[in-house]
Amino acid sequence: MIKLISEKEKTDFKYLEKSHYSRKIISHNDAYGTKYDFCSFYFVYSGVEKLGVISLFNNAMVAEAYEGKSFNGEAVRDMAFLINAHKPQTVELSPKYAAELIKYVESDYSLGERHQFEFVCRNKLPELEVNEFPKLDEVFDILKTGFPDLEPCYGAWLTDTSHRVRRGFAQAFILNKCTTATIQYIIYGKALIGQVATLPEYRGRKYARQLLYWIGEKLNKDGITVYLFARNHRKSYYEEIGFKEISVDYVLDRKREENVSG
């Protein structure tokens, strides 16, 4: 059984398994709680036993089990029902459940391999012209050149990013006024990097590499471990910067409409 968590219920998310998935769920809860339509949370049950939590934030779903618990076959089938009802663009959860879940939603979703990397600190912070508190409009002007699908979502992106930055859950950086990267969350001393882009006329100058290395060294100096995810074709790129692969998981990606059956 899957039950929507109301604003009045206790959200005991700190007891979830320690993972990227739980950190992402916690970041959504800490930033917004349960009172917004675009950010909802669900308890996953087997009978009366609470197994874990699902978050639905905008167009993405994340699930994680509680420590010492696991999602059984019934719970996975219930997740598939929730996915079919909401049609999120992506679904993230432990690979031990992803392979089972895809069987129920494979007409609409494909399973994409993803690699998690951790930055290896060398204690050599380079001197770079990095703006640690840029205007978010300037960040977006760079991002939209690397993520064209993001441009129509400017309002939602600005509202979410500014909210997270103000509350200390996220941070954006700009190098040389042409390259940007964003910390998507900082939870339990672990930071996730995402949304890296460089203006087209400045690409090929290794600015993104320099910025990612700088962020890794800067945050490690502050006692924060830095992570990022990459698909197969980007593995060597991040290894050259100073990241090491620590795990592999799978993301359920919603197929484009022309490829979806029915």
> What is the per-residue pLDDT for 9?
78
Q: How many Å apart are CA 76 and CA 135, to the nearest integer?
A: 42
Q: How many Å apart are CA 46 and CA 79, to the nearest integer?
A: 12
Q: How many Å apart are CA 252 and CA 87, to the nearest integer?
A: 11
Sign of the Cα torsion 100, 108, 252, 21 reads: negative
Please state the pTM of the whole predicted model.
Answer: 0.90
Residues 6+ apart with CB under 8 A from 249: 92, 94, 95, 98, 113, 114, 116
- Per CATH, the number for 118-249 is 3.40.630.30
> Residue 164 is inside which H or E element, if any?
helix 154-166
Residue 261 pLDDT exceeds 50:
no
> Rounded to whole angstroms, what are the CA distances from 161 to 126, 137, 170, 182, 183?
27, 11, 7, 9, 10
Tens-digit pLDDT profile for residues 191-235: 999 999 999 999 999 999 999 999 999 999 999 999 999 887 778
Q: Which residues pair with 62 in a beta bridge?
A: 55, 92
Between 3.30.930, 3.50.4, 3.40.630, 1.20.58, what CATH number should domain 2-105 receive? 3.40.630
- Would you place residue 262 in the very low, low, confident or very high pLDDT band (cuts 50, 70, 90)? very low
> What is the per-residue pLDDT for 258?
54
Q: Which of 172, 184, 228, 177 is nearest to 199 (CA)?
A: 177
Tens-digit pLDDT profile for residues 15-44: 999 999 999 999 999 889 888 889 999 999
Which string of DSSP letters, residue by residue, matches 200-253?
GGGTTSSHHHHHHHHHHHHHHHTT-EEEEEE-GGGHHHHHHHTEEEEEEEEEEE
Q: Which of 96, 105, 10, 93 is nearest to 55 (CA)?
A: 93
Helix, strand or coil for residue 194? strand
Tens-digit pLDDT profile for residues 161-170: 999 898 888 9
Which letter, b or e, does each residue of 57-66 get, where b requires 16 or more Cβ atoms within 10 Å of its Cβ? Answer: beeebbbbbb
Q: Which of 82, 91, 142 is nearest to 251 (CA)?
A: 91
**CATH 3.40.630.30 boundaries in the chain:** 118-249
Q: How many Å apart are CA 78 and CA 45, to the nearest integer?
A: 9
